[in-house]
């Protein structure tokens, strides 16, 4: 049996609130709806702004070391 190892690094993804001047963080409420895909409800811990995303935040993504750069468009 052969193994191939690649270096990965955990990246903590936080969804920062988009409300001007808030600076809070959106946290998953555990409430989800599934239609074509599952969407999860998030609420800002500071101002209460609510939004939906296809992933839950905060989350940890494991990325190849060389994938980390100025483009952080990965989920």
Residues that bind Zn ion (CB under 5 A): 17, 19, 22, 24, 44, 46-47, 49
Distance, CA of 23 to CA of 39 (rounded, Å): 23
The distance of closest approach from Cβ of residue 16 to Zn ion in the complex, given in angstroms and rounded to an integer, is 8
Which CB, 52 or 74, lies closer to Zn ion?
A: 52
Q: What would the two tokens of residue 10 be?
A: 């955990």
Q: What would the two tokens of residue 54 be?
A: 């296809």
Which CB, 14 or 67, lies closer to Zn ion?
A: 14
Which CB, 13 or 68, lies closer to Zn ion?
A: 13
From the list 14, 6, 4, the residue with the least C-alpha distance to 66 is 6
């Amino acid at each position: 049996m052969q193994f191939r190892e690649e270096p990965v690094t955990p990246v903590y993804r936080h969804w920062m609130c988009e409300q001007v001047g808030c600076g809070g963080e959106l946290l998953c409420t555990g409430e989800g709806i599934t239609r074509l895909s599952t969407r999860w409800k998030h609420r800002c811990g500071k101002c209460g702004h609510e939004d939906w995303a296809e992933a839950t935040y905060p989350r940890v993504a494991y990325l190849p070391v060389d994938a980390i750069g100025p483009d952080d468009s990965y989920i």
